[in-house]
Amino acid sequence: MSGFGAQGSHFIDGTAVGRPGGGTMISWHSEWPAPAKINLFLHVVGRRADSYHLLQTVFRFLDFGDTLQFSPLADDAISLATPLPGVPPETDLTVRAARLLKQAAGVHQGVEITLTKRLPMGGGLGGGSSDAATVLLALNRLWDVNLPASELQRLGLKLGADLPVFLHGRAAFAEGVGERFSDVALPPAWYLVLVPKVQVPTSAIFAAPDLRRNTPLLSAAEWVPGQGGNDLEAVACRLYPEVARHLDWLRRFGSARMSGSGACVFAEFAEESGARTALAQLPPDMKGFVARGLDRHPLLELT
């Protein structure tokens, strides 16, 4: 597992990150974390006239994810040094995020982005959104733009509904299309996350006619850990039997659910040892990892 340092600390390339203006050196040589998220529950509570679904969910970050590095370019180009298979660089969220910030702030400097990818594509762990959010956070400092967090969240929402929570930076009860947050206090926990060998397109799940879209509203103030399920899970299991198979195996250790629109599924453990004991029993044809739950994004102090 590749972690990001002790919970409550924030590190870039081994150096503690202070608040903007606090004197901590951040350079083009830094390595920037992009953590995974999981949805502790996910309900579809309605649908807007423009077809966007209204959601309620709780986001939690994990001490596991991708990392990014940035190099300044002599011209004003935005370049991705590590394109993903099957994803044209011009459509990659990291490139789009850099271009969006560049245009919004009137920046004339270019950048080359190097992405070390650990999070699966189409896995429901927010990998692409987390990568893009880290691009906004990093270049906001490296380009000396210094937009406020509220403006970064506004830009992030243009790229996807999952981006704002990574820019918000705290475990949160989210509503609307995923952009309205109420911070939540969560108990310490470890997670065993399984990664089925399928990519689940979010659009296919939300387009399914049998998707439940009328789950009663929960109160953010009254929500407690363990409450709620994932309304997308039944559709994903029907369309992608591998998701159902991994869930069935994981449930021998207790409650388990799918994150986001899938395909990844997870179970919660009070101690790291319990999660690793379960991981050791994983069948040879399944893959997974153990990660600690975080209440704060590793780059929170940059917002």
Which CATH number goes with the domain that contains 26?
3.30.230.10
Residue 116 lies in a domain: yes
Residue 162 annotated to the active site: yes
DSSP per-residue string spanning 69-134: EEEEESSS-EEESSPPTT--GGG-HHHHHHHHHHHHHT---EEEEEEE--SPTTSSS-HHHHHHHH
Question: How many whole angstroms separate alpha carbon 37 and alpha carbon 55?
Answer: 16
Total count of domains within the chain:
1
Q: Could you say which of 63, 162, 231, 295 is catalytic?
A: 162
> 68: closest CA among 168, 19, 169, 138?
138
- Asked if residues 90 and 52 have their Cβ atoms less than 8 Å apart, the reply is no
Return the exposure string of 103-131: e unless at least 16 CB atoms fall within 10 Å of the residue's CB, then b: ebbebeebbbbebebbbbebbbbbbbbbb
pTM: 0.91
Given a cut of 70, the residues of the chain with pLDDT beneath it are 1-25
pLDDT at 11: 34
Residue 169 lies in a domain: yes
Residue 148 lies in a domain: yes
Residue 162 lies in a domain: yes
pLDDT at 3: 55
Task: State how beta strands 53-73 and 110-116 pair.
Answer: antiparallel
- DSSP classification of residue 298: T
Residue 2 lies in a domain: no
Residue 64 lies in a domain: yes
pLDDT at 25: 57
Residue 293 lies in a domain: yes
Residue 37 annotated to the active site: yes
Residue 145 lies in a domain: yes
Domain range spanning residue 197?
Answer: 11-302
pLDDT at 303: 74
**Residues contacting 192, CB < 8 A, separation 6+:** 250, 253, 266, 267, 269, 275, 278, 279, 288, 289, 290
Q: Could you say which of 37, 63, 102, 295 is catalytic?
A: 37
pLDDT at 13: 35
